C-alpha cells in the first residue's frame, strides 16, 4: 500500500520535473539559435556595414537574448529549489547556468562588433583588404560556436574537444590582423577616420577572439555535463594531422 502510494505520488513529480527540464532545454536551444543567427548577420555587415535592416535585426535580437538569459537563469534556480535534483540533473542544471552566461556574453560581443563595423569606412585606401581576414575570423568563430552548442545538444564530447582545439587558429588570426595594422599604418600621418578605422578593426578582431574563448567555455561545460569532468584547467594536446595546415 505504501509502495503504491509512493509510486502514485512520485510519478507526477518526475513528470513535472522532466517537463520543466525539457522547457529549460527548449529555452536554451532558442537562445543558442538567436545567437548563432546574430553571428551570421554580423558577418554580413562586412559587405554592407550600415545596412539598416541588419542593424535593426541585431538590435531586436539582443533584447531577446537578454530576456532569455534572465529566464533561463531564474528557471535553473527554481529547479534546484523545487526538485532537489540528483547529481546528474544538478550537473545538467549547472551546465545550463554556465553556458547561458557564456552565450549571453557572446551576444554582447556581437553587439560590440556590429557597432564597431558601423564606424568603419572601408572606402578609405588601405582598408578594403581587411574584409577577407575578418571574414576568416567570423567563419572560424562561427564554426567553434556551432560545434560547442551542438556538442551540448547532441551530448558529443568529440565535438566539444574539437571546439577547444580550434581556439589556437582564432588566436593566430587575431595576431595576424594586429600585425598587419601595425605594418600598414606605422610611420604615417593619419587622419581622424583612418584612426577610427584602425581602432575599430583592432577591436573587432579582439571581440571575435573573445567569442572563440566563450565557445571554448561552452565546450568545457558540455564536457562537464557529458563526462562529469571539469577540464577548464587541463591542457588538451592536439594530435598532429597532415591536413590541419592545408
In the numeric block, the cell 581576414 is attached to 133
Distance from C-alpha of 4 to C-alpha of 226, rounded to nearest angstrom: 34
pTM: 0.86
pLDDT less than 50: residues of the chain: 1-10, 237, 239-246
Residue 46 φ then ψ, to 5° = -60, -30
Query: Rounded CA gap, 50 and 120, in Å?
Result: 9
The structural domains of the chain, with segments of one domain joined by +, span 2-227
Residue 239: predicted pLDDT: 43
pLDDT of res. 9: 46
Hey, what CATH topology would domain 2-227 get? Methane Monooxygenase Hydroxylase; Chain G, domain 1 (1.20.58)
Amino acid at each position: 500500500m505504501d509502495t503504491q502510494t509512493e509510486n502514485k505520488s512520485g510519478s507526477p513529480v518526475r513528470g513535472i520535473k522532466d517537463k520543466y527540464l525539457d522547457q529549460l532545454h527548449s529555452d536554451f536551444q532558442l537562445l543558442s539559435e538567436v545567437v548563432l543567427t546574430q553571428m551570421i548577420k554580423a558577418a554580413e555587415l562586412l559587405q554592407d556595414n550600415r545596412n539598416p535592416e541588419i542593424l535593426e535585426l541585431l538590435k531586436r535580437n539582443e533584447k531577446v537574448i537578454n530576456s532569455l538569459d534572465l529566464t533561463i537563469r531564474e528557471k535553473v534556480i527554481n529547479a534546484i529549489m523545487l526538485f532537489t535534483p540528483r547529481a546528474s540533473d544538478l550537473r545538467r542544471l549547472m551546465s545550463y547556468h554556465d553556458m547561458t552566461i557564456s552565450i549571453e556574453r557572446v551576444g554582447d560581443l556581437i553587439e560590440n562588433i556590429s557597432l564597431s563595423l558601423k564606424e568603419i569606412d572601408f572606402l578609405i585606401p588601405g582598408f578594403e583588404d581587411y574584409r577577407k581576414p575578418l571574414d576568416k575570423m567570423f567563419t572560424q568563430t562561427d564554426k567553434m560556436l556551432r560545434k560547442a552548442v551542438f556538442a551540448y545538444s547532441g551530448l558529443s564530447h568529440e565535438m566539444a574537444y574539437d571546439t577547444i582545439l580550434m581556439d589556437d587558429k582564432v588566436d593566430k588570426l587575431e595576431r595576424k590582423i594586429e600585425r598587419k595594422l601595425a605594418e600598414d599604418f606605422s610611420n604615417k600621418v593619419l587622419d581622424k577616420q583612418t584612426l577610427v578605422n584602425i581602432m575599430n578593426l583592432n577591436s573587432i578582431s579582439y571581440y571575435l577572439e573573445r567569442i572563440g574563448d566563450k565557445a571554448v567555455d561552452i565546450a568545457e561545460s558540455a564536457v562537464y555535463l557529458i563526462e562529469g569532468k571539469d577540464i577548464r584547467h587541463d591542457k588538451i594536446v592536439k594530435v598532429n594531422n597532415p591536413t590541419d595546415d592545408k
